[in-house]
Structure 1
């Protein structure tokens, strides 16, 4: 397809994570045809190392800076737009670049100060394997971007801005003429939700297959940009530390492999997925920081009791050096997390995205740490608190609230969003769906919740709880109950960057509690008590960038 196509070409888009979606894909994985493997090898054209994989892919790596300067697949060039190449960050600059062939593998090593980066090509494969070893903060973030020529995979997905000429926030959020919003941030997906990202156009698929993210930050529920597409070109990302909406300090060390994969139009082979990929061929390549499978261990738990079976549970492992996670079985909570670097980890049990239990686990190389049944104390799950009324449920997300689903792939000003204002009546049957997922100081602060109490309930003090999942500009709720006004709560620790407007509600879950005295309630049981929720903060700007917060749940305890 020509890069000068006049309009959008609507293509199948894969942002899934299941092996079933992959199917049988020619030339996608290690089992790819090796019919032309006799041409496998590399040359030096003076400026680049030119690698022929012996399949349908020829790639070039700059000898000066380690940029990926060409991805020639079946005779068509896919790499590059705007005079820019594919690389770490926006390019490393002058680097030491070397190449070595070891049997059926060619490895390009790039050294830039303390950072080391690697490209590997395998005979007969249409894949490029990448590793990045970041030792310190001399490189600000950890991002690899594959820049793709214009016109190859045009689309009009949420993370595209081909048809969005109006800039509505910063220089990266746009609006179409119909009021729908577009941004590279609007991927919809948490890290745990996908194995690969990319595009398909006829008989060509181009994919970024993610790594296990053991050196990334933010855990399984972190959201970041995964790709972008515009009339100028497209980008596929492997982002390990971006500095946006981060809840943890960045981790250092070798990360990978992540894989640039070409296919005949289908999804990449499931053999490339981080949970399946085996790289014994890389064990002896001398990659800095590389730890082979035999130097890693596993954590397995026989079960988790005290679960709410209406929710999915995830088990996470984290320390300052690495992070991992795995799903708990729906029937018994069994979990198994493999490929773990040796060390002692904090083990966290998540109900949805809400941490409900922590313990520790120590992993040894080559061994399996088996844990007996983990019991989640009833008091650790706020859903177990007996409530007079509750809006939403405690799962660490704004799921079910008004506009919640849309906000993972659209700006709050999007034409598809329901009005952010609107009050709620307890007992109406639509309490959760009518309550907004986000509250901003400058948009919908002053929300009202109407509720009645029995005489016995009105005769006692009660605790009001409001759970949040993140906040922007220190936004936090101050409440008024009839004539009683709470103190202004202190702001909890939250990321300082944009979140609510770039598709992410993921920050640090926090519960605000308010002790409401009996004197605050109305004594007439036929009248509605009125709860008013205001967002307070001295920070932020205006509209959707004023101080705001994302809601997990709120309730009045009995």
Structure 2
């Protein structure tokens, strides 16, 4: 779709205006500006209190001209907005904003801009005839306080009755932690955090019911932070409203800083209930200030090699101008739609960075060649639990942690009198908590004692409150130098349904004198200078444990 060659008509409602009624399809509108380029049937109206637009495809919405909030969202004539809430807003909304509207193609499409200059944010809304979608983007020019950036829509839970079950907090009877994890009378838990998807696999998400569906279509996430495996809140039915959130940045186990610039585009699509298909939003570069078209971007392609033990490999780019990734197939990868700039390239096997990072420069209209190599760590030859893949997959409770709090009644017990390597990772907890299950005793057998002792590797995916492992075997106790403090992300991790943090491997060299032929016991403790209660005590998450001759 190409914009009208004529300059767009700009509309800024005056501070005050004499109201006058005009009938439009049986609806009273107020003070329509002259020269607005209306189509027959008045597809949009601009009044002192709001700018409204009717797509003609069953979607009508209104943007408040005082604060830039979406104040009304109708599907097939039914108001979806939750009572007393905004149909959409940046963060928790603003008290004031500079709001303008521009029409294109003789009024067949509209771009609404809401700017809060004090915090340096502009929220864009774009819609067009015969499309049941509101396309959006958010331009962030300053560091934010608090440091979150999200667009959230709050809709009627009485209408949109189908949403992710694990994130439905309506009907819970007690608070588990903070003000965001709750429990039902039967001990099952729910939280807004338990509806997340990894960015690399993120599909449209939302809620549906009674012939209506409202979904966020993620679009471009190149200006988000955290890399391909980062995840954040998406959908939460509180009973009062269904909150559907597009996160651009948060401090939830975040490993990168906020990227300044235009975030998106992304979209809010209304349907008869079905989930919409992902779609290209490149056409919006003709309308959104600062959005580069695909023709003004570049790409990276090349080869990737190494030993990955059957894990899916990904090449990811990260830099001030954005983040991008592509999966490796038959030893090759392609990453497209990349903004010009310089990036650090990382090869992942699963979610574990392997090999050496590379620096690559992308130019507009060109594809840069790149070769990446890297292999997963060698498996333990005396024993191994788990897989070196940057996740706790295979460990006890790892299959539940994305959608349940560790205290959930459906979780297996986190503490036992002892564990054995012979029982495998499935019987060994995915995480150790200082106040819950530390220390843990793991029995293993040596047919003979290696002359130089053994090397123990404990790979972790995340930590909380400085938690990290220390070990004892026989007469050996690991020195403090073997357990340096991990990166401090200043955020809850496993209780929020994520293991994604900074992968860290701790290596311990145990002398032969501390070992014996036959059964040995490895005791793993969580150490930290901090303290906490139960699952909010210092902790770390296992990726793998491996033992080899030193």
- TM-score, normalised to structure 2's length? 0.88
What is the Cα deviation at residue 44 of structure 1?
2.3
Contact 1:154 1:230 in 2 (8 A): no
* Cα distance between partner residues in 1 of 2:536 and 2:348: 30
Q: CA deviation at 1:385?
A: 4.7
For residue 325 of structure 1, give the secondary structure of its aligned residue in structure 2.
Answer: strand
After TM superposition, the structure 1 = structure 2 runs for residues 418-429 of structure 1, keeping only pairs within 5 Å, are 418-422=412-416, 423-426=418-421, 428=422
Larger Rg: 2
What's 1:147 paired with?
Answer: 154
Q: Does 1:438 align with 2:444?
A: no
Cα separation, 2, equivalents of 1:320 and 1:386: 38
- Select 1:514's aligned residue among 484, 508, 514: 508
Tell me the alpha carbon deviations over residues 230-257 of structure 1, each in whole angstroms, 9 at most, x when there is no partner. 2111111110111121011111100111
Answer yes or no: is the 8 Å Cα contact 2:99–2:115 preserved in 1: yes
2:533 matches 1:534? no
Corresponding position: 1:389 with 2:383: yes
Which of 135, 142, 145 is matched with 1:136 structurally? 142
Aligned partner of residue 165 in structure 2, secondary structure: coil
Distance 1:267 1:84 in 2: 22
Structure 1 counterpart of 2:362: 363
Residue number in structure 1 paired with 2:31 = none
Report the equivalent of 2:36.
none
Deviations 1:421-467 (A, max 9, x none): 123222x2x3200110010000000111111223352x322211101
Mapped partners of 1:44, 1:512: distance in 2: 62
Structure 2: 5+ residue stretches without partners: 1-38
Match of 1:21 in 2: none
Answer yes or no: is 1:449 the counterpart of 2:449.
no
5+ long unaligned stretches in structure 1: 1-36
- CA RMSD, aligned part only? 1.6
Residue of 62, 65, 82 corresponding to 2:64: 62
2:425 aligned counterpart, secondary structure: helix
The answer to whether residue 543 in structure 2 is matched with residue 552 in structure 1 is: yes
Which one scores higher on RCO, CA 8 angstroms, separation ≥ 6?
1
Distance 1:157 1:549 in 2: 27
**Judging changes above 3 Å, is the alpha-carbon distance between structure 1 residues 138 and 173 closer, same or farther for their aligned structure 2 residues?**
closer
| 2:459 maps to 1:467 | yes
Correspondence 1:279 to 2:277: no
Q: How does 1:207-286 map to 2 (within 5 A)?
A: 207-270=215-278, 272=279, 277-280=280-283, 282-285=284-287
CA distance in 2, matches of 1:311, 1:40: 55
Residue 309 to residue 449, structure 1, CA distance change in 2 (3 Å):
closer
- 1:547/1:138 CA distance change after superposition, 3 Å: closer
Contact 1:211 1:255 in 2 (8 A): no
- SS for the counterpart of 1:177 is coil
Q: Give secondary structure in 2 for the equivalent of 1:158.
A: helix
Contact 2:315 2:346 in 1 (8 A): yes
Q: Show the 5 A alignment for 1:148-187.
A: 148-155=155-162, 157-187=165-195
